[in-house]
């Protein structure tokens, strides 16, 4: 009998382990521990045993019965847990699609600008974001304590190292690399200024610097370049004007304005009722800067400009807050995908 009981127990435990749902579990209970179950039958059969064997056999059957009952309760709990899990996770729901990524609006606008200047033979020249005071200021004709430095509130990394406040230090780098060849490059990149962040100004933004150095380059070339770029980027009917300005590294210096694309020059909120929008600072490369780059100012002339990226993008896409560019909000970014 003992051997039969042992086999019964191991068979019962094995089949219990395979059970995954409540119905099968109840059937299992009935077949072993129910009123007509195998264990119950065995207990009933005790009466047929000789009286002296009954207590020992009874004890053995009871122990098996207890073990099976506790295994049953354990499995019951496991099945309930699984049940709860499958109720909260509906495995029949379709998955959440992961869409393809897209280019950031700034990247798209930068690429449009590259394409426009590529048509005029400008190649891309990149310079580092972390610059020296020497390149960002000194070699651009701003010695230490020059008051014009106040035009660029600066993030300093150390006494002599800073985050470039404009892409103009790339002019010196390009000149030193290209000398003695003529130059026609654009220098795109991030600039940083220690400024209050508002809807109109960020402390990080993109600029595209332009630099052309040659033997007969004049202000007219700068003007033609600016007009062509404005018309390519904002429409063939654009008007461009130059306003006298000041930068230590250009002489003469100008601000480049384009007629407002929203009101067509009539005057609106965006152009502050002037009809004009500023798109770049520019000018003829200052002789001191040419010299610092290695070019003899009696032989060479050149023009340079610094074009904003986010502001024109805002105009084109009717974006009212520059901070959207750096918020990483996918709902904003996807609109331009
Ligand atoms: N670097 C100037 C600025 O950021 C713009 C500029 C570039 C002006 C090149 C003249 C020539 O304000």
Q: How far apart are alpha carbons 328 and 213 in whole angstroms?
A: 39
Residue 183, Cβ density class (10 Å: 0-12 exposed, 13-18 middle, ≥19 buried) = buried
Edge-first strand listing for the sheet containing 204-214 = 123-124, 183-192, 204-214, 301-308, 276-285, 250-259, 240-247
pLDDT for position 267: 86
CB 210 within 8 A of CB 167: no
Q: What percent of the chain has pLDDT over 90?
A: 60
d(Cα 241, Cα 269) in Å, to the nearest integer?
20
Homologous superfamily, domain 105-336: Bira Bifunctional Protein; Domain 2 (3.30.930.10)
Q: What pLDDT sits at residue 24?
A: 87
Ligand 1 centroid – CA 133 distance (Å): 16
Ligand 1 pocket test, pick from 165, 249, 254 with the greatest ligand atom count within 8 Å of Cβ, gives 249
- Please answer whether residues 258 and 279 qualify as being in contact, where contact means their C-beta atoms are separated by less than 8 angstroms: yes
Rg over CA atoms, the chain: 40
Compute the distance from residue 168 Cα to the ligand 1 centre, in Å: 6
CA distances from 272 to 198, 244, 264, 318 (A): 17, 19, 13, 16
Tokens 């006494």 map to which residue? Answer: 159
- Which atom of ligand 1 is nearest the CA belonging to 280? 5
Question: Quick one: CA dihedral 33, 38, 41, 42, positive or negative?
Answer: negative
At residue 87 the predicted structure's pLDDT band, cuts being 50, 70 and 90, is low
Q: How far is the CA of 305 from the centre of ligand 1 (A)?
A: 6
Given a cut of 80, whether residue 14 has pLDDT beyond it is yes
- Quote the strand ranges of 99-182, DSSP E: 123-124, 130-132, 161-163
Of 135, 137, 163, 168, residue with least CA distance to 150: 137
Tens digit of each residue's pLDDT (9 = 90 or more) over 155-198: 999 999 999 999 999 999 999 999 999 999 999 999 999 999 98
Q: Is 275 left (phi over 0), alpha (psi -120 to 50) or beta?
A: left
Average pLDDT of span 67-83: 87
User: Could you give the count of Cα atoms lying within 13 Å of 208 in the half-sphere of its Cβ?
Assistant: 25
Which residue has tokens 């993109």?
206
- pLDDT for 229 equals 96
Q: Which two tokens stand for residue 107?
A: 């990247």
Atom of ligand 1 nearest to the CA of 191: 4
Q: Structural domain boundaries of the chain?
A: 2-88, 105-336
Pick the most confident of 2-6, 18-22, 181-185: 181-185
Q: How far is the CA of 208 from the centre of ligand 1 (A)?
A: 10
pLDDT at 86: 64
pTM value surpassing 0.85: no
Could you identify the atom of ligand 1 that is nearest to the CA of residue 305?
9
Residue ID of nearest Cα to ligand 1 atom 4: 166
Per residue in 127-149, pLDDT (tens digit) is 999 999 999 999 999 999 898 88
Gap between the Cα atoms of 328 and 310, Å rounded: 15
Res 29: pLDDT:
93
* Ligand 1, atom 7, residue with closest C-alpha: 306
Cβ < 6 A, ligand 1 pocket:
166, 168, 209, 247, 250, 281-283, 304-306
Q: What is the pLDDT of residue 32?
A: 92
Which residue's CA is minimally distant from atom 12 of ligand 1? 281
Q: For the chain, what percentages of helix, strand and coil (3-state, to nearest 5) are there?
A: 45, 20, 35
Average pLDDT, the chain: 92
* Closest atom of ligand 1 to CA, residue 306: 7
**How far is residue 56's CA from residue 46's CA, in Å, rounded to a whole number?**
10
Q: Which burial class, exposed, middle or buried, applies to 186 when counting CB atoms under 10 A from its CB (0-12, 13-18, 19+)?
A: buried
Element (H, E) at 323: none
User: Quick one: pLDDT band at residue 85, thresholds 50, 70, 90?
Assistant: low
């Amino acid at each position: 009998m003992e051997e039969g009981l042992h086999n019964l127990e191991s068979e019962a435990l094995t089949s219990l382990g395979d059970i995954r749902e409540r119905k099968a579990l109840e059937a299992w209970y009935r077949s072993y521990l129910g009123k007509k179950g195998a264990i119950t039958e065995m207990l009933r059969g005790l009466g047929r045993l000789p009286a002296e064997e009954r207590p020992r056999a009874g004890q053995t059957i009871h122990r098996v019965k207890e073990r099976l009952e506790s295994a049953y309760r354990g499995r019951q709990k496991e099945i309930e847990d699984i049940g709860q899990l499958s109720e909260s996770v509906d495995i029949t729901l379709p998955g959440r699609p992961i869409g393809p990524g897209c280019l950031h609006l700034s990247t798209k606008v930068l690429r449009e600008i590259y394409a426009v200047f590529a048509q005029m033979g400008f190649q891309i020249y990149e310079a580092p974001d972390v610059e020296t005071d020497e390149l960002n200021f000194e070699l651009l004709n701003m010695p230490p304590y020059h008051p014009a430095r106040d035009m660029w509130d600066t993030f300093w990394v150390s006494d002599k190292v800073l985050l470039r406040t404009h892409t103009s230090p790339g002019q010196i780098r390009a000149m030193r690399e290209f000398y003695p060849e003529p130059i026609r490059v654009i220098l795109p990149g991030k600039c940083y200024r220690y400024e209050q962040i508002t809807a109109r100004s960020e402390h990080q933004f993109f600029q595209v610097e332009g630099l052309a150095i040659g033997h007969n380059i004049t202000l007219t070339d700068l003007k033609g370049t600016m007009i062509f770029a404005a018309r390519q980027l904002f429409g063939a009917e654009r008007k461009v004007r130059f306003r006298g300005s000041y930068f230590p590294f250009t002489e003469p210096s100008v601000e480049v304005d384009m007629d407002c694309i929203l009101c067509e020059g009539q005057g609106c909120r965006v152009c502050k009722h002037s009809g004009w929008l500023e798109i770049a600072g520019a000018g003829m490369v200052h002789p001191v800067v040419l010299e610092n780059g290695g070019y003899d100012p009696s032989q060479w002339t050149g023009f340079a400009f610094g074009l904003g990226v986010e502001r024109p993008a805002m105009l084109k896409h009717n974006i009212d807050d520059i901070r959207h560019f750096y918020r990483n909000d996918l709902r904003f970014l996807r609109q331009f995908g």
